[in-house]
Structure 1
Amino acid sequence: MTRSSIRFVRRGRVVQVDDFAPRTTLLDWLRIEQRLVGTKEGCGEGDCGACTVVLGRERDGKLVYEPVNACILLLGQIDGAKLITVEDLAPGAASGSKELHPVQAALVARHGSQCGFCTPGIVMSLFALYHEGVRPVTREAACDALAGNLCRCTGYRPIIDAALDVCAEPAADGSDARADATLAMLRRLDDAQDVFVGDEDAFFAAPASEESLAALLAEHPEATLLGGATDVGLWLTKALAPLRKFIWLGRVHGLGDIHDSPEVLALGATVSHARALEPLAAIDPDIGEVMRRFGSNQVRASGTVGGNIANGSPIGDLAPMLIVLGAHLELRGGSERRTLPLENFFLAYRKQDRRKGEFIRSLLVPKPGPGDHVRVFKVTKRFDEDISSLLMAMRVTIQGERIVMARVAFGGMAATPKRALAVETALLEQPVNDGASWAAAGEALASDFAPLDDHRASAAYRLQVGKNLIVKALAEIAGAPSSATRIIGHRETAHAAE
């Protein structure tokens, strides 16, 4: 069965949209079609957060609220969700009540708004934090929640103070009381039907099964596969790419599954970065820290692990980390499946080993074993929500005092994420606590890379920082205290002293 409409919940009722241009963003639909202009258009690329709205979906039997950037999310991607905009928050909003939501009231009380342009997006990000359920919210959690929201008038302190105030007590806005009714509505919308809006020349499609996806992709191999749209959305809003056919993977049964065993973590292609954070952080804290800084809450809620890998960006953070862990990709084209090492997937700049009609099914991530040590470092100009100038991931196995296995990979150094084979060779059979061998391994980096030279960093900077990170990782593995090598934790100390 196929339906030619999308359906979602808003203000307690089901909304059905039967006809829309496939490339329509949620922001344009809200502002232009519905005249809901509280949601603002700022950067148009998912960085400033002025367009933030919240989507409610069922996760493990519970209603979960997540902030998303409406400016780069396609309208079709809200199928099956509950949509909440800033106009919906106040009690009795549908009847024109002027009573404020607790988040709005806290911002007023703390003078957290001046020009007000950014305020609706900030309100929606804090609404999602308000419903996370962890009480009391720490300052760091509030900063994480607001990392994707820019404000140039007010300054962040009163905004963060408002977040701490309103999230000190349990949520009391009625949304939780209506959660069971909302879940029942969302479950009725989950009809397992394929969605196809448009015609053979231009369409938005959302297959419900792998079989439907494989068949549709075989018929339209030129269609754009859509994960979270955190990059494809920019192709539309910034590059103005003339894309006409979209196949969204978000409804494909099974592609959003996570299977976690003692030996292997299996992540379905449509698992979001937000959902992947916890199981990846359990593999190693460094990986968890990189995932925490992986864009903003809005980006992590939308972006998918499969989309990040399929995009093939040379500065993607996920690939180097998974490469050193020995991850494999599982792909499907038609009825055929194949598996290959992740490091072999990247062929050249923006070119991957994905055959015509193929899609990524899952990532299989082996977990480190006894004697394994993992280190990951992300270098950026700005601490939060910034693209890496350089990312280094290292896994070494120590037996006795010697390195018997080494895998080192970099992002941001070359046209693809890539292992540093000369560095690995230089480390093998070396004493782990030998500073001279650390330096020699760092010098070997020049044999592996002629680094990129662009506006994020010069080639010379990347090479020098790469050498430093190799030494830094090995020093920590040999026993140097992380307090001497890390800035993580210094922010907490500074805030406590305020």
Structure 2
Amino acid sequence: STCHALLNQLNSFGSEQIRNVATIGGNIIHGSSISSLNPILQACNAKLKLIKHSTNEQCEIALRNFFVHNNNVDMERDEILLSVYIPFTEEYEYLQSYKQSKRRKFDTPIVSCGFQVKLEHQADGFVPEFKWKIQSACLSFGGIASSIVMMKKTQDYLKDKPWCKQTMKDALKCLLDELTLDESTSGGQAAYRRTLVTSFFFKFYLYVKEQLQKTYPDTVADEISSNELSAIKTYVRDLSHGE
């Protein structure tokens, strides 16, 4: 759900002191290319309501159209953010967020992402592997460009494809082709960040498949192996302590 995906990021967002004074609106307007929160807000198709200071004229803009190059946002100088609408997920819609940083908490992400997919249940007669067709998808990333970006070519490729392992493999190739990261990219670690991008999408594929198996067990072709299942779970390391 949207709330679960947001909490997944907020639990590692800054420190308690920062969270006590920070706002979602400030995080959005800042437009940072390494935001932890904006990719998931973009993936869930959050909407912003802006108001002009001079005329009180209001307008609405989707967050998916709000971020432009070099940490800039599509907002005029006399506009103020009035509200943020964050929708809940619908039936057959799945949303999740991931982040990798040098520390689990209190650190900016190397790569952050928000994934959304809306599936359509196919009629009887389809084999289980093709029971679910992708209606729409959003793959939003921070840390791989000069602003928060969506992988639009990969999103277009996924549309109307079955949610199956072969689609996932082909989408990973499409993702790598669409990424423009190289060693001259700001922040470096191009190879590592490319690996994170594909790893996060693979985790999302497994997450959605697990949710389908739990809710609609007769519509999923094969079980998730124990090795793959471990990739879905969040690794939590206990605090080190002496004897």
Tell me which interval the TM-score lies in, with the shorter structure as reference length.
0.7 to 0.9
Aligned with residue 379 of structure 1, among 73, 88, 100: 100
Structure 1 match to 2:217:
none
Residue 436 of structure 1 deviates from its aligned partner by 2.0
Residue 443 (1) aligns with residue 173 (2): yes
Aligned with residue 202 of structure 2, among 471, 483, 488: 471
Mapped contact 1:317–1:391 kept (Cα < 8 A): yes
Mapped contact 2:49–2:60 kept (Cα < 8 A): yes
Deviations 1:449-483 (A, max 9, x none): 3137344x522221222112112211221124785
SS in 2 for 1:477: helix
SS in 1 for 2:109: coil
Residue 447 of structure 1 deviates from its aligned partner by 4.0
Residue 487 of structure 1 deviates from its aligned partner by 5.5
Output aligned runs, 1:258-297, within 5 Å: 283-297=2-16
Structure 1 match to 2:18:
299
SS in 1 for 2:181: coil
Deviations 1:27-50 (A, max 9, x none): xxxxxxxxxxxxxxxxxxxxxxxx
Take 2:11 and 2:236, find their aligned partners in 1: how far apart are those partners? 16
Take 2:237 and 2:67, find their aligned partners in 1: how far apart are those partners? 36
Mapped contact 1:451–1:463 kept (Cα < 8 A): yes
Look up the equivalent residue of 1:444 and give its one-letter code.
C
Take 1:352 and 1:447, find their aligned partners in 2: how far apart are those partners? 26
Aligned with residue 85 of structure 2, among 364, 379, 385: 364
Structure 1 match to 2:48:
329
Look up the equivalent residue of 2:202 and give its one-letter code.
V
Take 1:390 and 1:381, find their aligned partners in 2: how far apart are those partners? 10
Mapped contact 1:414–1:449 kept (Cα < 8 A): no
Aligned with residue 407 of structure 1, among 134, 138, 154: 138
SS in 2 for 1:405: strand
Which runs of no fewer than 5 residues in structure 1 stay unpaired?
Answer: 1-281
Output aligned runs, 1:26-65, within 5 Å: none
Take 1:286 and 1:323, find their aligned partners in 2: how far apart are those partners? 12
Mapped contact 1:422–1:447 kept (Cα < 8 A): no
Residue 405 of structure 1 deviates from its aligned partner by 1.6
Structure 2 match to 1:43:
none
Structure 1 match to 2:221:
none
Look up the equivalent residue of 1:438 and give its one-letter code.
M
Structure 1 match to 2:220:
none
Take 2:233 and 2:14, find their aligned partners in 1: how far apart are those partners? 19
Q: 1:346 to 1:489 in 2, by over 3 A?
A: closer
Aligned with residue 320 of structure 1, among 36, 39, 43: 39
Structure 2 match to 1:428:
159
Deviations 1:301-323 (A, max 9, x none): 11111111111110112211111
Take 1:398 and 1:344, find their aligned partners in 2: how far apart are those partners? 23
Mapped contact 2:206–2:229 kept (Cα < 8 A): no
Structure 1 match to 2:214:
none
Mapped contact 2:207–2:232 kept (Cα < 8 A): no
SS in 2 for 1:462: helix
Q: 1:475 to 1:483 in 2, by over 3 A?
A: closer
Take 1:398 and 1:464, find their aligned partners in 2: how far apart are those partners? 26
Mapped contact 1:333–1:358 kept (Cα < 8 A): yes
Residue 355 of structure 1 deviates from its aligned partner by 0.8
Q: 1:357 to 1:411 in 2, by over 3 A?
A: same
Aligned with residue 458 of structure 1, among 189, 195, 200: 189
Take 1:283 and 1:339, find their aligned partners in 2: how far apart are those partners? 20
Structure 1 match to 2:237:
491
Larger Rg computed on CA atoms: 1
Structure 2 match to 1:348:
69
Look up the equivalent residue of 2:178 and give its one-letter code.
D
Mapped contact 1:324–1:409 kept (Cα < 8 A): yes
Structure 2 match to 1:338:
59
Q: 1:486 to 1:296 in 2, by over 3 A?
A: farther
Look up the equivalent residue of 2:14 and give its one-letter code.
G
RCO higher in 1 or 2 (8 Å CA, sep ≥ 6)? 2
**Scaled by the length of structure 1, what TM-score is found?**
0.40
Which runs of no fewer than 5 residues in structure 2 stay unpaired?
Answer: 122-131, 211-223
